[in-house]
Amino acid sequence: MTTAKNNSQYFQDIRHLHRTLAPIMLLPLLLTTITGTVYQIVDLAGKEDGFKWLLHWHKGQFGALNLEVIYPFLNAMGLFILLFTGLSMWFHRRPTSKKESTEAQINIPLAKVPK
């Protein structure tokens, strides 16, 4: 019984970590993806001179706040944690049989039709 409780608590902690970290990591990952993609398009068009600021944002240089040294590592660490917690939740989800899900769909109460 103790192992089941520990296992249950472990997966609650994993879900909580994933739920907390996902919104925090959304902005940096989107920023990195979008700025990298747009800069690559601008670079291929040969007009990168006016868009160097995109490359600075992509690397983590935000004006006076320069995170260029740790920004890629924080991005990578957050992404790996989300990957680990997401895969853990996916591989350890509760198995449901087709019979149970079909029974649940059949037993849905229908609304009464007025006469």
Q: What backbone torsions phi and psi does residue 88 show, to the nearest 5 degrees?
A: -60, -45
In the chain, % of residues over pLDDT 90: 42
- Map out the domains of the chain as residue ranges: 25-93
Is the distance from CB of 8 to CB of 65 less than 8 angstroms? no
Would you say 29 and 75 are in contact if contact means Cβ atoms under 8 Å apart? yes
Q: Which helix (H) or strand (E) holds 109?
A: none
Instruction: State yes or no: pLDDT of 110 exceeds 70.
Output: no
Are 89 and 11 within 8 A, CB to CB?
yes
Q: What is the pLDDT of residues 18-59, one digit of tens each?
A: 999 999 999 999 999 999 999 999 989 988 888 888 989 999
Do residues 10 and 85 lie in contact, with contact meaning Cβ atoms separated by under 8 Å? no
Q: What is the pLDDT of residue 81?
A: 94
